Structures are given as C-alpha cells and as structure tokens.
C-alpha cells in the first residue's frame, strides 16, 4: 500500500448556498489536472425536506451542513493548494494558518456518513410554514372557505390550532397543515 492509497476525510469550507456548484467545479478541476486518482469521493450532505406551498407537498433537498463539503482524498502535493485556490472555497476546516488540512476522526466520519444515509431516507420532515398569530384560510374540510388565526402549532402531530369565527362566535379548530393556506 503506497502513500497515494491512503485517503482520509476532510471538510472543505465553502461559500454557503454554493456547495453543489463548488463540488462540481472542484471535481472537474481535479480531473482536468489529472489528480482524480488521489480523490475518492466528494459529498455535500443533504436532507430531504417536505415543504407545503399552496396546499401542495413539495420535496426539496436541503443542505444539512451549509458551507461544508466533505472530501475523501489523499491531500498530498498540490491538491490542498488547488482546492484552496478555487473560487468560493474558504479553506479546510480545522487548519491553522499556513498549516496542513486536518483529517476528520474516524468516529466523526462514521457519524457523518451514518447521518447522511439516515437523512436521505428521512423524507417526512416537514418544515413548518405557519407561525402563531398568522391569518390563514381553511381550504379543506367542513370549514372550507372560513378565515382564521393560528393560535398554536403542534409540530409532533403536524396540526394547527386555529380560531375561526363561525356565526359571530370564535370557535377553536384543530386542522392539519394541508387543510389551510396563508392569506
């Protein structure tokens, strides 16, 4: 086993919101310069999130660690310099000024990779699109068409407690996120 066979996980710090673009650019640059044998894998940990927009479920991929790209590589020779010099790359996580990049500990890597796998299968994590005191309109069920105010948000049950005026009297209702929309 030679030095080029030993690959460790590192974390590259990048401009938040640009992780996938930077990862793709990093891959193409490393391939172009002929160092692809030293880099095994590049990951941007993402999580599937279900958002509700206009009463419809929308699946989105959300970056789990904004501003970080995981890279499994043998960072010898020019590779750290090439990565650092790419646009929107800040540097390596944990490095001292002018020092070498510090690899992640095995326990951290396993936890991260386990987390990445767990996140990609965990689809029913709905981000809550409603806040207390917000005005909503009921779009489903027997109270369809009524307007109300969000009194409470129950994240566990994914329900809203809504106060609706019916025949001049305020009436509390428990509705799911899918039964209401923002006014």
Residue-wise pLDDT tens digits, 146-171: 999 999 988 777 789 999 988 888 99
Instruction: Quote the DSSP letter at residue 161.
Output: E
* 128 domain-assigned: no
- 75 and 141 share one domain: no
For the stretch 78-117, pLDDT in tens is: 889 899 999 999 999 877 776 788 898 888 888 877 776 6
Q: The pTM is what?
A: 0.60
Average pLDDT over residues 171-175: 91
More confident residue, 128 or 72: 72
Last residue of a domain, one of 97, 121, 145: 121
* 126 domain-assigned: no
Q: What residues make up the domain containing 156?
A: 135-182
For the stretch 10-47, pLDDT in tens is: 999 999 999 999 999 999 999 999 999 999 999 998 88
């Amino acid at each position: 086993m030679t030095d080029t066979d030993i690959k460790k996980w590192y974390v590259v710090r990048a401009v938040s919101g640009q992780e996938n673009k930077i990862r793709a650019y990093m891959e193409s640059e490393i391939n172009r310069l002929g160092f692809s044998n030293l880099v095994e894998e590049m990951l941007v940990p993402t999580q599937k999130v279900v958002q509700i927009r206009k009463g419809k479920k929308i699946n989105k991929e959300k970056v789990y660690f904004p501003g970080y790209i995981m890279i499994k590589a043998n960072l010898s020779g020019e590779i750290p310099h090439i990565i650092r010099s790419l646009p929107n790359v800040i540097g390596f996580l944990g490095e001292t000024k002018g020092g070498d990049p510090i690899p992640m500990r095995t326990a951290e890597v396993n936890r991260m990779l386990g987390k990445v796998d767990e996140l990609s299968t965990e689809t029913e994590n709905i981000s809550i699109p409603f806040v207390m005191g917000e005005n909503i309109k009921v779009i489903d069920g027997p109270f369809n068409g009524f307007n109300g105010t969000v009194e409470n948000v129950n994240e566990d049950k994914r329900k809203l407690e809504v106060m609706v005026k019916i025949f001049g009297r305020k009436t509390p209702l428990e509705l799911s996120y899918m039964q209401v929309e923002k006014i």
